[in-house]
Structure 1
Amino acid sequence: MKKYDDVVGIDVSKLTIDAHMYKRSIHQVFSNTSKGYKALVKWLNKNLEGQCYFLCFENTGHYSTNLSIYLSQNDMDYVEESPLAIKRSAGIVRGKTDRLDSEMIARYAWLHKEELVLSTPKEKDIQEIGRLLSLRDQLVRDRTGKMSTLKEAQSLLKSPSTDSCCKIATKTIAYLTKQIAALEDRIKILMQSEEGLDKNFKLLNTIKGVGLILASQLIYHTNNFQRFDGWRQFSSYCGVAPFSHSSGTSIKRRNKIHHIGDRKMKTLLTMASVSAIQCDSELKLYYQRRLAEGKPKLVALNNVRNKILSRAFSVIKRGTPYVELQQFAA
Structure 2
Amino acid sequence: MTTGTLKRQPEVIVGVDAHKHIHHAVIITSTGQRLTDSEFPATSLGYADMLSWATEHGHVQAFGVESTGSYAAGLARFLIDHHVEVREVNTPHAHTKARVGKDDTIDAEAAARKVLAGVATAIPKRTDSVIESIRFLLLARDSAVKARTAAIVQLQDILVTAPADVRESTPRGGLAAARHCRKFRIDRARLHDPVQAVKLALRVLAVRAADLDSEIKELENALTTLVNATAPTLVSRVGIGTIHAAQLLVTAGENIARFRSEAAFARLCGVAPVPVSSGKSHRMRLHRGGDRKANRALHMIAVVRLRYDARTIDYMQRRLTEGLSKKDVLRCLKRFIAREVFNDLRTDLGTA
Superposed pair shares fold, TM > 0.5: yes
Q: Does 1:264 align with 2:293?
A: yes
Q: Does 1:232 align with 2:263?
A: yes
Measured after TM superposition, the shift of residue 150 of structure 1 is 1.5
Q: Does 1:166 align with 2:166?
A: no
Aligned length: 303
Residue from 124, 127, 136 that aligns with 2:132: 127
Between the aligned residues of both structures, percent identity stands at: 26
Residue from 305, 315, 333 that aligns with 1:286: 315
| Larger Cα-atom Rg | 2
Residue from 156, 160, 177 that aligns with 1:155: 160
Measured after TM superposition, the shift of residue 28 of structure 1 is 0.7
For residue 241 of structure 1, what is the aligned residue in structure 2?
272
Measured after TM superposition, the shift of residue 55 of structure 1 is 0.9
Query: Alpha carbons of 1:27 and 1:315: their partners in 2 closer, same or farther (altered >3 Å)?
Result: closer
Measured after TM superposition, the shift of residue 284 of structure 1 is 1.4
1:205-256 per-residue CA deviation (whole Å, 9 max, x = no partner) reads 2211110011112222222543435433221111112122346xx4845211
Query: Alpha carbons of 1:100 and 1:30: their partners in 2 closer, same or farther (altered >3 Å)?
Result: same
Structure 1 Cα separation of the partners of residues 239 and 336 of structure 2: 11
3-state DSSP of counterpart to 1:20: strand
Bigger mean CA deviation after superposition, 21-30 or 225-234:
225-234
Q: Does 1:222 align with 2:230?
A: no
Query: Alpha carbons of 1:56 and 1:316: their partners in 2 closer, same or farther (altered >3 Å)?
Result: closer
C-alpha contact 1:239 1:262 (8 A) present in aligned 2? yes
For residue 214 of structure 2, what is the aligned residue in structure 1?
178
TM-score by length of 1: 0.82
For residue 205 of structure 1, what is the aligned residue in structure 2?
235
For residue 327 of structure 1, what is the aligned residue in structure 2?
none
Q: Does 1:17 align with 2:48?
A: no
1:134-170 per-residue CA deviation (whole Å, 9 max, x = no partner) reads 2222222222222211221222222322222221111
Structure 2 Cα separation of the partners of residues 318 and 30 of structure 1: 40
Gaps of 5+ in 1: 193-197, 320-330
5 Å-filtered alignment, 1:103-142, equals: 103-112=109-118, 116=121, 119=124, 121-142=126-147
For residue 44 of structure 1, what is the aligned residue in structure 2?
54
TM-score by length of 2: 0.77
Gaps of 5+ in 2: 1-9, 164-194
Query: Alpha carbons of 1:20 and 1:251: their partners in 2 closer, same or farther (altered >3 Å)?
Result: farther
C-alpha contact 2:73 2:127 (8 A) present in aligned 1? no
Query: Alpha carbons of 1:303 and 1:223: their partners in 2 closer, same or farther (altered >3 Å)?
Result: same
Structure 2 Cα separation of the partners of residues 52 and 214 of structure 1: 39
Structure 1 Cα separation of the partners of residues 239 and 123 of structure 2: 35
Query: Alpha carbons of 1:257 and 1:204: their partners in 2 closer, same or farther (altered >3 Å)?
Result: same
Residue from 29, 37, 41 that aligns with 1:31: 41
For residue 78 of structure 1, what is the aligned residue in structure 2?
86
Structure 1 Cα separation of the partners of residues 36 and 97 of structure 2: 23
Query: Alpha carbons of 1:94 and 1:292: their partners in 2 closer, same or farther (altered >3 Å)?
Result: same
Residue identity in the other structure for 1:77: E
3-state DSSP of counterpart to 1:147: helix
Structure 2 Cα separation of the partners of residues 102 and 27 of structure 1: 9
Structure 2 Cα separation of the partners of residues 101 and 285 of structure 1: 52
Query: What RMSD, in angstroms, separates the aligned Cα atoms of the two structures?
Result: 2.6
C-alpha contact 1:156 1:162 (8 A) present in aligned 2? no
Query: Alpha carbons of 1:251 and 1:145: their partners in 2 closer, same or farther (altered >3 Å)?
Result: farther
Q: Does 1:101 align with 2:107?
A: yes
3-state DSSP of counterpart to 2:87: strand
Q: Does 1:54 align with 2:54?
A: no
Residue identity in the other structure for 2:75: L
